[in-house]
Amino acid sequence: MMREESESMYRMLIVDDEPIIVEGLSELFLQSDYPLEVYQAFDGMEALAISRKLRIDILLTDIEMPEMNGIELQQEVLRLWPRCKSIFLTGYNEFDYIQSSIRGGAIDYVLKTEGDAPIISSVEKAIRVIAEEVTYEGLIANARSSLKLALPALRKEYLNGLLEGEASSPAVREERFAQFEVPLDSELPVVMAVGRIDRWREDATGSDKVLFAYSINNIFEEFFAQEFELTHFRGDHERLIWLLQPKKESGYYQAIAVKQPIHERSVVEPDPAARLHAYLLGMLESVQTACSNYLKLACSFVVSSEPFEWDAVASKYERLSQLFGRGLGLGSQMLLSDDRAKSSGDEQARSKVKRIRLLDQYLMQKERAKFDQLFEGISQAVGESATLEEGLPLEVFYELAAIFIPHLNRFEALGTDDGQAIPDKLFSIREHRSWKEASDFFRKLADLLFVRMDGGNEQETSEVVEQIHRYVDEHIDGDLTLNRLAEHVYLTPFYLSRLYKQKTNHTISDYITRTRVDRAKQLLGESSLKIHEVGMRIGYDSASYFTRLFKKATLLTPQEYRDSLK
């Protein structure tokens, strides 16, 4: 017996060594509108086995049972599921039992002789208590507490996203800065400094490296915190990254608050941005010296030559990072600014291409629109080139290949494409005559993957539904609980329930009931089995419950239906 699970569904386990009581109570709650998924057990050991597989929210159990009584069962279930609410049933009004059960955390104690009303009332109370414990306010409070602990990691993830070129409007930035406690103004320009540890000490271990990185930041803050608001995080390749803005009371605030036009700049009096840049270089030299003297670490730094807008964070980081990989940047303990590097079309294109890794995420999450938009931007940034075998086209081609290969493998799609082998086109850029041809090839692969994703999901869902139907048809007189069906198709009960409903617009319980009624009609018309024997053939040990179910479905009792066929 079972009921489909929804967003606010609770699992109730009914336990009694008298099957008629278990089946009667199951039927009572399954026919109700209570948000309950009902499970049955006929002794304490069977109930405990179910509890070890599934979270139990409400335990409705007899007290007097062989092997393991209700009190002992409650104690074991509470060890597994501390939030479980227990309701005890008994045929005896014994004060000792009442005291023991209440001390154990039971929310109610009902005599079997009192009828259904007190049991229903107790279950309603249990549902109400559970709902009150998990309130919206409580969840939000817990989330805020957890968020506080996770802030450094979340802040780093968000800022790294900006470095990778993720789009961010001023309004969203302001909201995220407040949420992740970024102490910067989301509307004013910002300055970036990037550090690299050129040479680790010989005695530095893995854990020491993390401490040294924090120590470098502490030194950095010692020199800069008086004049600047700043935030620090680590990027790829163990780069140390700082974003800075002069404080309002600082003599350098004008450099970000008011951008002075070139024709107004004085030769005698440097413009605010130039003064800020000179100050940054001087202070970074002090940081570099302190790291060498106190930490015995050789460090290099690059810094932006002037403040820039937040939308340019990704391209600025790309530009500063490139300084580490060429010319003076290949040395040790260097100190450079990006005024040495001339901006180029290739550099701007690289900043757009930097988001290429997001394509993998969009493929995994089946976000077609986002994938198409980003892919188009990357393809345009690469443009056409005299040759594909060097520069940006070469890099982008093989990075795209690395993204697509795992997804193609996942859907066994590394076969052929219009008679030509996909691997040849995927593994060698020489198979393409132009970047447009290569780009069109990857677009076609994306189309193939999105189609496979949609079709594969639909096909697998259909197979699961067919498996469930076959199992129900073949085991109509057996265990058809949601838990058993879920085990059969290797899914969780909740997910199976939702998947089936999405595919068929009906619940599994509906299908089981229809199948049982159809089988009962067949047996009533084609056999001479007695009514209770027909009920047993379709999984009902109690003739009264079979009669009730059959009449609800057909408006006739089983006997009336049999008579109508004569």
Last residue of a domain, one of 342, 375, 408: 342
pLDDT, average across residues 479-501: 84
Sort 66 into a burial class: Cβ within 10 Å, 0-12 / 13-18 / 19+: exposed
Last residue of a domain, one of 313, 342, 371: 342
pLDDT, average across residues 493-504: 84
What tokens appear for 477 in the block? 């007189």
Which of 128 and 422 is assigned the larger pLDDT? 128
- With cut-offs at 50, 70 and 90, classify the pLDDT of residue 99: low
Say yes or no to pLDDT of 29 above 80.
yes
Residue pair 331/376 in contact (Cβ under 8 Å)? The answer is no
Which of 308 and 32 is assigned the larger pLDDT? 308
Q: Note whether 250 and 271 are same-domain residues.
A: yes
Q: Which run of H or of E encompasses 59?
A: strand 58-62
* Tokens 């609980």 found at: 481
Query: pLDDT tens-digit profile of 297-311?
Result: 999 999 998 999 998
CATH number for the domain spanning 186: value is 3.30.70.270
Q: Note whether 337 and 219 are same-domain residues.
A: yes
- With cut-offs at 50, 70 and 90, classify the pLDDT of residue 448: confident
Which of 139 and 442 is assigned the larger pLDDT? 442
Q: What pLDDT does residue 114 have?
A: 82
Q: Note whether 358 and 384 are same-domain residues.
A: yes
Q: Note whether 409 and 303 are same-domain residues.
A: no
Which of 474 and 391 is assigned the larger pLDDT? 474
Statement: the pTM of the whole predicted model exceeds 0.85: no
Q: What pLDDT does residue 30 have?
A: 78
**pLDDT-wise least confident of 101-110, 208-217, 237-246, 485-494:** 101-110
Is there a domain that residue 469 lies in?
Answer: no
Is there a domain that residue 551 lies in?
Answer: yes
Is there a domain that residue 219 lies in?
Answer: yes
Is there a domain that residue 152 lies in?
Answer: no
Is there a domain that residue 149 lies in?
Answer: no
- Of the chain, the percentage scoring pLDDT greater than 90 comes to 32
Say yes or no to pLDDT of 420 above 70.
no
CATH number for the domain spanning 53: value is 3.40.50.2300
Q: Work out the mean pLDDT of the chain and round it to a whole number.
A: 83
In the sheet where 240-246 sits, what is the strand order? 228-234, 240-246, 191-199, 298-303, 335-337
- With cut-offs at 50, 70 and 90, classify the pLDDT of residue 556: very high
Is there a domain that residue 316 lies in?
Answer: yes
DSSP assignment string, 454-515: HHHHHHHHHHHHHHHHHHHHHTTTS---HHHHHHHHTS-HHHHHHHHHHHHSS-HHHHHHHH
Strand boundaries in 380-438, DSSP class E: 416-417, 420-421
Q: Note whether 370 and 503 are same-domain residues.
A: no
pLDDT, average across residues 212-230: 93
Query: From residue 294, how far is each of 88, 212, 314 by CA, in Å?
Result: 69, 11, 33
Is there a domain that residue 35 lies in?
Answer: yes
Is there a domain that residue 466 lies in?
Answer: no
Query: From residue 381, how far is each of 197, 289, 343, 418, 466 by CA, in Å?
Result: 32, 41, 15, 28, 48
Q: What pLDDT does residue 1 have?
A: 40
Say yes or no to pLDDT of 105 above 70.
no
Say yes or no to pLDDT of 538 above 60.
yes
pLDDT, average across residues 156-184: 87
Last residue of a domain, one of 309, 342, 375: 342
pLDDT, average across residues 11-35: 86
Q: Note whether 337 and 358 are same-domain residues.
A: no
pLDDT, average across residues 484-488: 87
Q: What pLDDT does residue 410 have?
A: 79
Query: Smallest Cα–Cα separation from 350: which of 395, 401, 404, 397?
Result: 395
**pLDDT-wise least confident of 146-150, 174-178, 473-477:** 146-150
Q: What pLDDT does residue 529 have?
A: 93
Of 85-94, 321-330, 336-345, 430-439, highest mean pLDDT: 430-439
Q: Note whether 387 and 409 are same-domain residues.
A: yes
Say yes or no to pLDDT of 63 above 80.
yes
Q: What pLDDT does residue 480 have?
A: 86
pLDDT, average across residues 33-60: 90
Say yes or no to pLDDT of 6 above 50.
no
What tokens appear for 431 in the block? 């198979």
Q: What pLDDT does residue 91 have?
A: 73
Q: Note whether 440 and 480 are same-domain residues.
A: no
Say yes or no to pLDDT of 37 above 60.
yes
Q: Which domain holds residue 365?
A: 352-457
Q: What pLDDT does residue 520 have?
A: 93
Which of 391 and 106 is assigned the larger pLDDT? 391
Of 92-101, 220-229, 266-275, highest mean pLDDT: 220-229
Q: Note whether 24 and 114 are same-domain residues.
A: yes
Which of 515 and 136 is assigned the larger pLDDT? 515
What SS3 state is found at 323?
helix
Query: pLDDT tens-digit profile of 313-337?
Result: 988 888 888 888 765 556 788 898 8
Which of 113 and 1 is assigned the larger pLDDT? 113
Q: Note whether 483 and 376 are same-domain residues.
A: no
- Of the chain, the percentage scoring pLDDT greater than 70 comes to 85
Q: How many domains does the chain have?
A: 4
Q: Note whether 380 and 288 are same-domain residues.
A: no
- With cut-offs at 50, 70 and 90, classify the pLDDT of residue 419: very low
Q: Note whether 324 and 217 are same-domain residues.
A: yes
Please give the Cα distance from 237 to 390 (Å, whole number): 24
Please give the Cα distance from 465 to 472 (Å, whole number): 11
Q: What pLDDT does residue 416 have?
A: 53
CATH number for the domain spanning 531: value is 1.10.10.60
Of 227-231, 337-341, 500-504, highest mean pLDDT: 227-231
